Structure 1
Amino acid sequence: MAGMTVIVITGGTRGIGRGLAGAFASRGCQVVICGRSEQAARASAAELGPAVLGVAADVTSRPDMERLWDTAQDQFGRVDHWINNAGTALAPQLLWDIPESDIRTVVEVNMIGAINGSSVAAARMLAAGGGFVWNMVGFGSNGRVSRGMAPYGSTKRALAYLHDTLTLETRGTAVRAGLLSPGLVVTELVAENDLRADLRGRRQQVYYEVLSDPMDVVAPWMADRVLAARRNGTRVERLTTPKALGRLAGAGLRGRVRPAAGRR
């Protein structure tokens, strides 16, 4: 166990977090995932195999993030990679139609959750001698704008800034910052919030068919690059704008659909 890579993934019970947990476990890593529900966290971990430990933790609570670190440390002796993946979204709505409580939830989970995780992981890694802190971005992080996506896109744009700042602040230390951009993946987050439709309800199935990738392709691709990363400020981006434009051109859709790399 001493030589195994230890990885913590927040929000690892579903979607990309769960996919990554499985990919890391299959590569011989020890993985700790968290979810708000103890039952969900443990059930997901059991389904993923003995290399995965499930813990109940709320990313909006700094003490919960400290406890998540302590659990991983106590169980496996260290944490090599901490991935702030927990996120939530809303169905596309004009900003003035969204209840304040819903906006607060998106901001608290997506932004404050990542700040809490980054703060705890960076401080503990500095004390422990090093490690990698990763933040998962999505639609909006690269400057793309879409009607109905104000709260979600704003938080993801903020996470790109968080990554840049964390890279600057850890410069010259043994702690490294990384950014993860999975591109377009149809996860539960996308399906449950109907993100494949615009504000008029118009389906964009062709767009998703051309630009999206299945989880069993994206998760292993990202896991390999996380494990190979060495440089502070590393960006692991699945669907860059040039790649998106290339796919659209290959499908004869360039000019008909605007690429929005990073939505998840």
Structure 2
Amino acid sequence: MADELTGKVIVLTGGADGIGRECALAYGREGATVAIVDRDLDAAQRTAAELGGGSIALGADVSDGEAVRSTIAAVVSQFGRIDAVHNNAGIASPSKPLHETTEQEWDDLQRTNVKSVYWTTRFAFEALVASQGCILNTASMVGLIGQTDHAAYVASKGAMISLTKAMAADYARHPIRVNAICPAGVWTPMLERWCAEQPEPDSIRRYLDEIHPLGYCPRGDVIADAAVFLLSAKARFMTGCILPVSGGAELGYRR
């Protein structure tokens, strides 16, 4: 694809590193202006500088409603429009079954991974109606098929998947398209941290290659390519789609 997103203004949360950074770079290559929203403002600024073309970085914690409100207002003030919101920010810790998860850990994870979608949608909605834009949520295959010792994270991604479908049904009348993308394993700083929390990190790295029938755990560029498609006019008749980009990890029993 070339210039699939020319002239579009995209708000991308969690765009400083990992999957978000790869998406930001891909959106820039396709002609978009990207507003990168991240708690790590320095890293977000470095990514925005790589994009050039008017893309900007804004420091904000997406679990804070007032921070999201002011961030969205700043984007509209600067660019006069928003064509897409990509809800990509998220945290993955703790790696525990539910009964071992503290209330604070549960609340932090749900607020960052799920309530952030509420905040961005609430405050960007009028701009998206005006542009007949779209929303993309970075979910996860674990929200569809589950995962051991990761209950709070799995719950948050399952909620995001259900929320995507409800939002797609509600907002089609405007028309705003709402879709989700579901990676399995993807090598990012967050996944590296998760691996380090496991009892045998080296065996977990082998496991992450082996769960993908295509033979390897990918980098974020494979997710970014699919994200470009879902935000482009080539996906203009797709809404409520929960798209696996998983190397076939969900395909069942394998040797």
Shared fold (TM-score, shorter chain, > 0.5): yes
Per the TM alignment, residue 176 of structure 1 is displaced from its structure 2 partner at its CA by 1.7
Q: Secondary structure at 2:249's aligned position in 1?
A: helix
Say if 2:216 is the partner of 1:209. Answer: no
Say if 2:208 is the partner of 1:222. Answer: no
TM-score, normalisation: structure 2: 0.84
- Aligned partners of 1:122 and 1:133 also within 8 Å: no
With over 3 angstroms needed to count, the CA separation of the structure-2 counterparts of 1:90 and 1:27, relative to structure 1, is same
Structure 2, unpaired ranges of 5+: 1-5
- Aligned partners of 1:16 and 1:219 also within 8 Å: yes
- Aligned partners of 1:131 and 1:174 also within 8 Å: yes
Report the counterpart of residue 109 of structure 2 in structure 1: 106
Letter in 2 for 1:8: V
Structure 1, unpaired ranges of 5+: 249-253, 257-264
Per the TM alignment, residue 201 of structure 1 is displaced from its structure 2 partner at its CA by 6.1
Report the counterpart of residue 86 of structure 1 in structure 2: 89
Per the TM alignment, residue 195 of structure 1 is displaced from its structure 2 partner at its CA by 7.1
Per the TM alignment, residue 124 of structure 1 is displaced from its structure 2 partner at its CA by 3.3
With over 3 angstroms needed to count, the CA separation of the structure-2 counterparts of 1:172 and 1:83, relative to structure 1, is same
Report the counterpart of residue 139 of structure 2 in structure 1: 137
* CA distance, structure 1, for counterparts of residue 196 and residue 163 of structure 2: 25
- Aligned partners of 1:131 and 1:175 also within 8 Å: yes
Letter in 2 for 1:230: R
Per the TM alignment, residue 163 of structure 1 is displaced from its structure 2 partner at its CA by 0.5
Q: Indicate the RMSD between aligned Cα atoms, in angstroms.
A: 2.5
Report the counterpart of residue 171 of structure 2 in structure 1: 170
* CA distance, structure 2, for counterparts of residue 46 and residue 213 of structure 1: 25
* CA distance, structure 1, for counterparts of residue 29 and residue 202 of structure 2: 39
Letter in 2 for 1:95: L
With over 3 angstroms needed to count, the CA separation of the structure-2 counterparts of 1:75 and 1:236, relative to structure 1, is farther
* CA distance, structure 2, for counterparts of residue 129 and residue 34 of structure 1: 20
Letter in 2 for 1:239: S
With over 3 angstroms needed to count, the CA separation of the structure-2 counterparts of 1:236 and 1:226, relative to structure 1, is farther
Report the counterpart of residue 96 of structure 1 in structure 2: 99
